[in-house]
A and B are shown apart, each in its own frame.
Chain A
Amino acid sequence: MYSLASYRLMTGNEAVAFAVKQVDVDFISAYPITPQTIIVERLSEYVSSGELDAEFVPVESEHSALSACIGASLAGARVFTSTSSQGLALMHEVMYIASGMRCPIVMAVSNRALSAPLNIHGDHSDIMGSRDAGWVLIFCENPQEVYDYTIQAFRLAEHPEVLLPVAVNLDGFTVSHSSEPVAILEDEVVRAYLPRRERPRLEFEEPASFGVFALPTHYFEFKVEQEKALRKAGEVLEEVSAAYPNRSGRLLKLSKFNEDGRIAIICLGGTAGTVRHVVKKYGMKDFSLISLKLFSPFPSEELLDALKEAEGVVVMDRATSPGAPLPPLASNVAASLYEAGVRLPLMSVVYGLGGREPTLKMIVEMLEKSRERIGEGGPVVSRMYLGYGGG
């Protein structure tokens, strides 16, 4: 049983900050950047008003923010930070250090395009540029998921078999700045869900070294162990989410809508909601939607299971991977299919770069195009830039 305190109208950013307050973090270091700023503002208000008893360390850059978080995390603190876009890019080298030193830091990323040209709007280029940094990567569709997944992220990160940082991604503006009803848990329920667990840390009494120099004799083993832990996080997530008190808020690796659709649309983040709306509103029953919540570790097994009946897939990427055969999500889907020996027609769609939010008309156009392409005799892989205005 769980008790819902109430529903509150919150933006995605406010939902992050509220969850972090309830999680009772010990340490926050962050640098404000659009569209994440409100997260940092709210948290600094919570700390200054005494609602949250945490150390808030203002810094001069995101590089320092994440570095400070690593120090606090190694000292045993429960740690949070957040950023976007250029800020995440500046953190890039430190992200590898956080995961390599097995720091269970939780970071919210209000996803935004990368410069140049300068742009403050939403897309997934920022986090996709750091997707190999060894973090658990979670994507949220709406402020409700942002709230629920932020809380669960801490339990996952701090699990003794995981001990890895987790990035909770929310689309810049469309989720970060959209106010929606959020069902919130009582503070005590959140605290009970997240007991503090012992983990290796810096102590005077029992000195230990973290971040040691590893020669070719050891470095390889460190990295493979780290990768194993990341894979393990997929399994651990199942128990972490099963224990979450609000059943409807449990973090599943993916959610599927309209099981019977013959063409599966695979999508990360807020746009999944728009696709679901279109399939429902226009009665396009031949489409199913797979909203992927977990990008890393990639849930290949669950995805293949969800694609059992599919005749084709449309994979929507809100980022490009210039020079690569396919953009990030499509590449992971294709690899998963290949491993299972499944040769499904795949339409790779790049959309929404720099905040070009897909309209209902654009989604309909994409679905209709996929019907043509995923017919008999079509190419196995085809590509589309949705809403692209160039030739």
Chain B
Amino acid sequence: MFLEILFLGRGGQGVVTAGRIIAEAALRAGLFSQSFPEFGPERSGAPVRSYVRISDEPISTRAPMESFDVAVVFEERLLGPSIVESVRSGGIIVLAAESAPELPRSDVKLFVVGARRIIEELKKPRSLNLAMVGALCSVINTIPLKHVEDIVGRRFGEENKEVVRRAAQMVVSVEQTA
């Protein structure tokens, strides 16, 4: 197993933290992981990426990632053609959205989670990243959700565990017709 994951959001949404949480959860699950931000200056509100590798063998590569098994996209407007193109055939897109957009390709699985509604309802407006990690964890199904919950509980308080749980429950697969 060798997974390459992209997190794509905006500066201030916790994109880098999301990557680190899933990498740490993978470590707790006895897997090898690597997480790194897009290198360089950061600007609040500008698109921000972070990258994660998860494997059952030690990871030695430090090459930049150019294509992905999974893309976790924090907002529909960020899901541009180049991002859709960068997902490998058979790969997955996890998108924060209320409804599913049309994708120009059918060899990629699309999952949608109403992450914004979840954090609004739970009054955790700054926890979008935690919702996205919960949804991702549920979709890839290689790391027990409990590890993510534990890390989130310890770092961000018990009440944020519910954000993770709810997103994991509410993420849905969208059938592609294209």
Residues of chain A at the chain B interface (Cβ within 8 Å): 7, 9, 35, 120-122, 141-142, 171, 173-175, 177-181, 270-271, 273-274, 276-278, 355, 357-360, 363
Q: Which residues of A contact B32 (CB under 8 A)?
A: 181
Cα–Cα, bound, A258→B5 (Å): 29
CB contact between A177 and one of B23, B27, B36, B59 (< 8 Å): that residue: B36
For chain B, give the interface size range.
20 to 34
A121 CB contact (under 8 Å) in B20, B37, B39, B63: B39
Cα A271 to Cα B64 in complex, Å, equals 11
A-B contact pairs, 24 of them (CB 8 A): A7-B27, A9-B24, A120-B40, A120-B41, A122-B39, A173-B36, A173-B39, A179-B23, A179-B24, A179-B34, A181-B33, A270-B62, A271-B62, A273-B60, A274-B60, A274-B62, A274-B63, A277-B60, A277-B61, A277-B63, A357-B63, A358-B63, A359-B63, A360-B63
User: What are the interface flags for B72-90 relative to A under an 8 Å C-beta threshold, 1 for contact and 0 otherwise?
Assistant: 0000000000000000000
CA distance A359 to B39 in the complex (A): 15
Q: Are A273 and B61 in contact (CB under 8 A)?
A: yes
Known: A178-B36, A179-B20, A179-B35. A357 touches B59 (CB 8 A): no
User: Chain B contacts of A360 at CB under 8 A?
Assistant: 61, 63
User: 20 other contacts beyond A141-B60, A178-B36, A179-B36, with CB at 8 A cut-off?
Assistant: A7-B27, A9-B20, A9-B33, A35-B39, A120-B40, A174-B36, A177-B37, A177-B39, A178-B35, A178-B62, A179-B19, A179-B20, A179-B34, A180-B33, A181-B27, A277-B60, A355-B39, A357-B62, A359-B64, A363-B63
- B21-60 Cβ-contact flags toward A at 8 Å (1 or 0): 0011001000011111101110000000000000000011
Q: How many A-B residue pairs lie within 8 Å, measured between CB atoms?
A: 72
B66 interface residue per 8 A CB criterion: yes
- In the bound complex, CA of A178 to CA of B33 (Å): 10
Complex contact B36–A357 (CB within 8 A): no
CA distance A178 to B62 in the complex (A): 9
A178 touches B63 (CB 8 A): no
Q: Which residues does chain A contribute within 8 Å of B64, judged by CB atoms?
A: 357, 359
CB distance from A269 to the nearest CB of B (A): 9
| In the bound complex, CA of A274 to CA of B34 (Å) | 13
Kindly provide the distance from the CB of B60 to the nearest chain A CB, expressed in whole angstroms. 4
A172: nearest chain-B partner, CB-CB: B39
Bound form: Cα–Cα A180–B37 in Å: 13
Most interface-central of B41, B60, B66 (chain A CB within 10 A) = B60
Min CB–CB distance A178 → chain B (angstroms) = 4
With a 10 A CB-CB cut-off, give which of B33, B36, B39, B66 has the most chain A CB atoms: B39
Report the minimum CB–CB distance from A226 to chain B (whole Å): 35
A2 to chain B, nearest CB (A): 20
A357 to B65, CA, bound (A): 10
Top-3 shortest CB links A-B: A277-B61, A273-B60, A173-B39
Q: How far is the CB of A141 from chain B (nearest CB, A)?
A: 8
B152 to chain A, nearest CB (A): 14
User: Which of chain A's residues has its CB closest to B52's CB?
Assistant: A179
List, in ascending order, chain B residues with CB within 8 A of A175's CB: 62
Pick from B34, B39, B63: contact of A180, CB under 8 Å: B34
Alpha-carbon gap, A360 to B2, bound state (A): 15
Q: Select from chain A the residue with minimum beta-carbon distance to B61.
A: A277
* Alpha-carbon gap, A7 to B31, bound state (A): 11
Complex CA gap A312/B8 in Å reads: 43
A121 and B33 in contact, given A271-B62, A274-B62, A360-B63 (Cβ under 8 angstroms): no
- Report the bound CA distance from A7 to B30 in whole Å: 10
Complex Cα distance A121/B23, Å? 23
Complex alpha-carbon distance, A240 and B108, angstroms: 52
Residue from B23, B27, B37 having most chain A Cβ neighbours under 10 A: B27
